[in-house]
Structure 1
């Protein structure tokens, strides 16, 4: 049976004694963002707090030359040396930009890079570039030298490690839409077992090519030739599919004692990640909420969040799972929001971006609104449709997707603990 004991470590921080192991709190000391309409963490906060939908119509991306609604990161937001990195996939470039902002915010010095690990989640990897290069693969003479590297999903994390000069462990997690939350879970395990001292962790995806859009058209998850306000509507039976988007969100995670020892600012605590799988088949979403309930319940423990940052993206099956989960665990006053009406669904980056959004809510005291929704069919929920300003101490985050993964995260406001018995 687990026992909680409050101890002093280096005269600074709280550690928990759970069973026979010592578990120290994992804190966030920096983060970076590249998302539709947001080229850094400051503009990300602006669009969330002010309720600005950054989606746009992209022509000739669907079948028969049809248009789709999408969330784009434009090339001018990626301020890197184009000559040096011109062969890198966009997902890697976005991750580099977001990671650079994160380590700058965390004041990571060159001396820290030797022990800096990189863990990045991605659903599609370099799918767009693979699609573009595929015709050239028919003939050896035209096959590009970097073709093999592009096809390797681990290029994403290794590219970020090279760009930053990080010399620690480097991993790439490809578990679909839960990838970045799963990356955070791995980072926590490595930090708590002292296999690494600090991590740049998060997610990135750029999957807006025809292969991706055609696939979602086939399963009727994306609509063509429609207006922005008619698709990707979280928590509404009137939503006509979801909005594909690209983006990257990166965080710097450290043990509390290490962060305090080097005088770093702490922006939040990653309390817990809970994860499981529905064991569903290819391209299927299990309509049952049972696994998600277990994942979120495991994540929360005895805690109650101030609000939930939901996975809801405008797909009936997904959003219904969210509704049933919340009804099972909370009363109907629980505040719920989704940032998918603002930027769209960023696949493997979504959990990291939701986590960063939650950290900004904690720091600045607001709940971002769920844009575009009329709440039709979800009237029995506490969906936030206008910004709410109040103190925020704790936020729960939910993610799930094709293949059956369910991953939830609890992030809380940081406060230095004192000795207690």
Structure 2
């Protein structure tokens, strides 16, 4: 028999908050976390704005000497994981560490370290780069640091599926617990790619909005949208089997009930215009949850603010939900955070869980110009109270990677 899977810990560092509570309060209030880039000098580049994590002090969570051996993405991962672990109330003295796993995604890993050490190699010779260059830059190290810190000795793995990574990490963790392979999984995503090379690469491929007005750059579903805004941050959740959580008297934030994952197999960056694989992904999640599409009230959309994505996602939602699509509330919290790449899905799952808990749908902010191709209820500009029981979170990544999770408001029965 498949086991029920519940969320017992939440941790987030995002452009709109340094904790889960701050992030959720900002999302409810429709606060924009996008602003001038401060992490480096942007004067020689087209794009000058992004969604940075503000006032992040790694030493709050990590010994100063250890922090110097970590890329910023790994620091963010460890910090969010620490928040989630503390929120969960887990005590490793009471756990079998081989039944505790870690699944953490990063789309790019330690890009800032790669850039800095390449510059150092050019100046001093490549045999004189930092001995920590490799363990700082590789994409599995966020997960490794979390496992080392908390003593989780079960499977530790790292899906790298671009913008779908955080959702895949949580979905894969859901299946691990559902199938009985782990009792506890600390999972999510972390990213820090607001660097000259990262921003230049996305600018060169015409993926980023080149507007430097924070209020008119990340504008999902708006007819004037022209690309996404880069964000950074980390989102982590602790998942447990319901039996395990109840046995230790854990506080439960919500339940995950369905997961779907597909691939467009179409293009390296562009979504399939028909959205067939995105449709199938949502259908798989609904079938896995054992519910009817009409039972879903809210979708946290991938909603990147690119011309193709928002149109294709709208088309896919209409195909899956039919007439019910008109009754759905669909918002993109990327309007506030920007696009956190491999961390985005994890942060959005956290926001979806809290939307269910508080019966409140966060808005799509800075929406001004309606688009006939994106004509669903995107909860424009102001969030709203609403009775919610089931919600869906979508992530659609470069390479055609699609992932959908269905969450349920926590009910003991």
Q: Common fold, TM-score beyond 0.5?
A: yes
CA contact (8 A) 2:3 2:178 kept: yes
Structure-1 separation of matches of 2:270 and 2:156: 30
CA contact (8 A) 1:206 1:247 kept: yes
CA contact (8 A) 1:202 1:251 kept: yes
- 1:93 is the counterpart of 2:75: yes
- 1:358 is the counterpart of 2:352: yes
| Structure 2 CA distance for partners of 1:377 and 1:61, relative to 1, 3 Å | farther
- Of 120, 132, 146, the residue aligned with 1:136 is 120
Q: Which one has the bigger strand percentage?
A: 1
- Of 183, 188, 199, the residue aligned with 2:174 is 188
| Structure 2 CA distance for partners of 1:389 and 1:23, relative to 1, 3 Å | same
Residue in structure 2 matched with residue 41 of structure 1 by the alignment: 20
CA contact (8 A) 1:31 1:41 kept: yes
Residue in structure 1 matched with residue 215 of structure 2 by the alignment: 229
Can you list the C-alpha shifts for 1:278-317, whole angstroms capped at 9, x where unaligned?
1134334332311111111121232421111000021011
Structure-2 separation of matches of 1:127 and 1:280: 27
- Of 53, 56, 62, the residue aligned with 1:76 is 56
Residue in structure 2 matched with residue 382 of structure 1 by the alignment: 377
Structure 1 residue 77: Cα displacement: 4.5
Structure 1 residue 55: Cα displacement: 0.8
Structure-2 separation of matches of 1:82 and 1:280: 45
CA contact (8 A) 1:181 1:273 kept: no
Three-state SS of the structure 1 residue aligned to 2:9 is strand
CA contact (8 A) 1:57 1:67 kept: no
Can you list the C-alpha shifts for 1:137-159, whole angstroms capped at 9, x where unaligned?
34145211111212321111101
Structure-1 separation of matches of 2:313 and 2:130: 44
Equivalent pairs, count: 396
Structure 1 residue 90: Cα displacement: 0.9
Moved more, 374-383 or 266-275: 374-383
CA contact (8 A) 1:268 1:412 kept: yes
Moved more, 352-361 or 64-73: 64-73
- Of 234, 237, 248, the residue aligned with 1:248 is 234
Structure-1 separation of matches of 2:187 and 2:338: 21
> Where do 4+ consecutive residues of structure 1 move more than 6 Å?
none
Structure-2 separation of matches of 1:199 and 1:261: 16
Three-state SS of the structure 2 residue aligned to 1:328 is helix
Structure-2 separation of matches of 1:283 and 1:383: 24
Residue in structure 2 matched with residue 124 of structure 1 by the alignment: 108
Can you list the C-alpha shifts for 1:345-366, whole angstroms capped at 9, x where unaligned?
1001111111100111111111
CA contact (8 A) 1:90 1:206 kept: yes
CA contact (8 A) 2:218 2:304 kept: yes
- Of 307, 310, 313, the residue aligned with 1:319 is 310
Q: Which runs of 5+ in 1 are unaligned?
A: 1-21
Alignment RMSD (CA, Å): 1.8
Structure-2 separation of matches of 1:124 and 1:63: 24
Structure-1 separation of matches of 2:379 and 2:302: 14
Residue in structure 1 matched with residue 84 of structure 2 by the alignment: 102
Q: Which runs of 5+ in 2 are unaligned?
A: none
Structure-2 separation of matches of 1:239 and 1:343: 16
CA contact (8 A) 2:357 2:410 kept: no
Three-state SS of the structure 2 residue aligned to 1:173 is coil
Structure-1 separation of matches of 2:383 and 2:53: 25
Alignment of 1:262-281 (within 5 A): 262-281=248-267
Moved more, 231-240 or 131-140: 131-140
Three-state SS of the structure 1 residue aligned to 2:227 is coil
Structure 1 residue 34: Cα displacement: 0.6
Query: Please, what TM-score do these two structures have when normalized by structure 1?
Result: 0.90
| Structure 2 CA distance for partners of 1:180 and 1:46, relative to 1, 3 Å | same
Structure 1 residue 170: Cα displacement: 1.0
Structure 1 residue 225: Cα displacement: 5.7
CA contact (8 A) 2:105 2:188 kept: yes
Residue in structure 2 matched with residue 15 of structure 1 by the alignment: none
Structure-2 separation of matches of 1:97 and 1:103: 10
CA contact (8 A) 1:63 1:214 kept: no
Structure 1 residue 380: Cα displacement: 2.4
Structure 1 residue 85: Cα displacement: 1.8
- Of 391, 404, 408, the residue aligned with 2:404 is 408
CA contact (8 A) 2:268 2:400 kept: no
Three-state SS of the structure 1 residue aligned to 2:215 is helix
Structure-2 separation of matches of 1:256 and 1:262: 10
